[in-house]
Chain A
Amino acid sequence: MDWLDIHPAALQALGGILGVLAIANLIVFIIRGRLSKSLHHELVSRIQSWWLMFAVFAIAMAINRTGSLIFFAFVSFMALKEYLSLIPSRRADRRVMFWAYLTIPAQYLLVGYKWYGMFIILIPVYAFLLLPMRMVLVGETRNFLRAAGTLHWGVMAMVFSISHVAYLLVLPEQVNPAAGGAGLVLYLVFLTQFNDVAQYCWGKLLGRRKILPSVSPGKTVEGLIGGIATTIVLSWSLASWLTPLNVPQSVAAGALIGIAGFVGDVTISALKRDLGVKDSGSLLPGHGGILDRIDSLIYTAPLFFHFIYYLHG
């Protein structure tokens, strides 16, 4: 095994993220006097969780490819577990849910073996046909549709979508000579998370018109537009360093991540509102559960992957 098997540009990018976190920490420290106590406390605990997430993510990315794939499989596992613990479910489906968990090792093994054809159909074709069959064998028909629908949605979002981040890592070298698969992952994950933060900040600074008050009362038009604009500026300025995208493509990628990130965020908000919970868990202080943190990535990961795959794959 090759340790520290990561493209030099991607390693620099990790250093860059470290710098961004340090700046964010410094800004919160400088403006602490102008913040309310509760907001200051929230920002501090959020940034602390960011440091922790960054540390784990950076180690997972830098170790080697197997380590990185195990890390993303673990993210899928934690997210699926959080999801299955939140939704209404049937006693009869315990074993069916166990099968749903088994899609995680299967899907990430396919990533590891770079078997693209099977990677792209394992869940939407085989899991979608087999899970209801397993449910029929249990024999309970009450709430059958609810159970099948919620299970499919969970496996699709938490396993299929997130595994696209991992597949970026195993794309052939010639797709991205500038920074390799790791460069693409860092570009996607950084822009997705920064877009969230930018939308939050622009919303706090300028937010007036609510955009989806019944789903997510904190979200504003100004926040969304400011966030997308910020993400486009970043996607354009980072593209030549980390991706094979030319200028118009990088602008399109920024818009894609900005919009899809927002959609992912409010989709999980709608889900939580339906279930009557505020946070999906308590794993990450200031953020909530892992689902609260990867909500945007559920939408940006497959869309960005296919954007790259179509243009440069």
Chain B
Amino acid sequence: MVTKIARWLFFTLIVRPLILIVLGLNVRNRERLPNRGPAIIAANHNSHLDTLVLITLMPPSLSHRVRPVAAADYFLRNRLLAWFAKDIIGILPITRQRIERGVDPLEICDAALKRGEILIFFPEGTRGEPERINRFRRGIAHLAERHPDVPVVPVFMRGLGKALPKGEALLVPFLLDVYIGEPLTGRVHADFLNTLRARIRSLAETDKGPEWD
């Protein structure tokens, strides 16, 4: 109960005003976002705020079902951060490193999809260089294969690499552009990972935005 209130206060008083007023969103094709779970949102990753932007995009009535998939080694490194990441943001912690046989790092994601939750997945696995798309990791392809009927919605975001790039603590206000692509599923697309990557790339190419050199 206390966690629920803390979470609601955090999103209503801090996250939404920050994303919608201090920064500001230009969303293209908002109607392509899932309106119920299970679903996966696959987005490019440049900033810690990416997750908060994607949660803000969803209607408040759904936001408690939105679960960002995040690196356990980073977000569970101390107790305070772990409480914040798990209870307030609602992350699903997964292991990025190679692990011993018999342990399935995606098990927690499977369970969440079975509960009808909406996962936020960053296929690049890490934030990387500002405003650039890195190599995709295979995790999301495995997940789509196991859940062939769950729609995967490609999303491209631009602007957060300017507003709050990796390694910077000072937030500088910039408008963010968010492009929502056509959903795809593991059943329909044989070469899932390349198809997903191509879709996010083509979203990125629809609007390159101003020079940032």
Chain A positions near chain B (C-beta within 8 angstroms): 77-78, 81-82, 84-91, 94-95, 97-98, 101, 142-143, 275, 281-283
Contacts and interface: CB of A to CB of B under 8 A. Distances in A.
B175 A275 contact: no
B78 to A, nearest CB: 28
20 contacts: A78-B24, A81-B24, A81-B173, A81-B174, A81-B175, A85-B175, A85-B210, A86-B210, A88-B210, A89-B162, A89-B210, A89-B212, A90-B212, A94-B165, A94-B168, A94-B170, A97-B172, A142-B213, A275-B210, A283-B24
Interface in B114-164: 130, 159, 162
B205 interface: no
A85 B213 contact: no
| A-B residue pairs, 8 tightest by C-beta | A88-B211, A85-B175, A88-B210, A85-B174, A81-B173, A98-B172, A94-B172, A282-B26
Nearest to A143: B213
A284 to B, nearest CB: 12
Contacts of A82: 175
Nearest to B177: A85
Given A87-B210, A282-B26, A94 B162 contact: yes
Interface size class of B (residues with CB under 8 A): 10 to 19
Interface of B: 24, 26, 130, 159, 162, 165, 168, 170, 172-175, 210-213
B103 to A, nearest CB: 40
Contacts of B162: 89, 91, 94
Nearest to A78: B24
Interface SS, B side: loop
Contacts of A97: 172
Nearest to A100: B172
B182 to A, nearest CB: 21
Interface SS, A side: helix
Contacts of B210: 85-89, 275
A142 B24 CA distance: 29
B128 to A, nearest CB: 15
A283 B24 CA distance: 9
Nearest to A140: B213
B160 to A, nearest CB: 12
A153 to B, nearest CB: 15
A101 B212 contact: no
A281 B26 contact: yes
Contacts of B172: 94-95, 97-98, 101
Contacts of A282: 26
B180 to A, nearest CB: 14
Contacts of B213: 88, 90-91, 142-143
A91 B174 CA distance: 13
Find the residue from B175, B211, B212, B213 having the highest chain A CB count within 10 A. B175
Nearest to B24: A81
A78 B210 CA distance: 18
A81 B172 CA distance: 9
A143 B212 CA distance: 11
B16 to A, nearest CB: 16
A89 to B, nearest CB: 6
A142 B211 CA distance: 13
Contacts of B159: 85
A97 to B, nearest CB: 5
Given A81-B175, A90-B212, 16 more contacts: A81-B173, A84-B173, A85-B174, A86-B210, A87-B210, A88-B211, A89-B212, A90-B213, A91-B130, A91-B162, A94-B170, A94-B172, A95-B170, A98-B170, A275-B210, A281-B26
A282 B179 CA distance: 14
A91 B212 contact: yes
B211 A89 contact: yes
Nearest to B174: A85
Contact of B175 (A94, A143, A281): A281
Nearest to A90: B213
A86 B158 CA distance: 12
Contacts of A84: 173-174
A281 B26 CA distance: 7
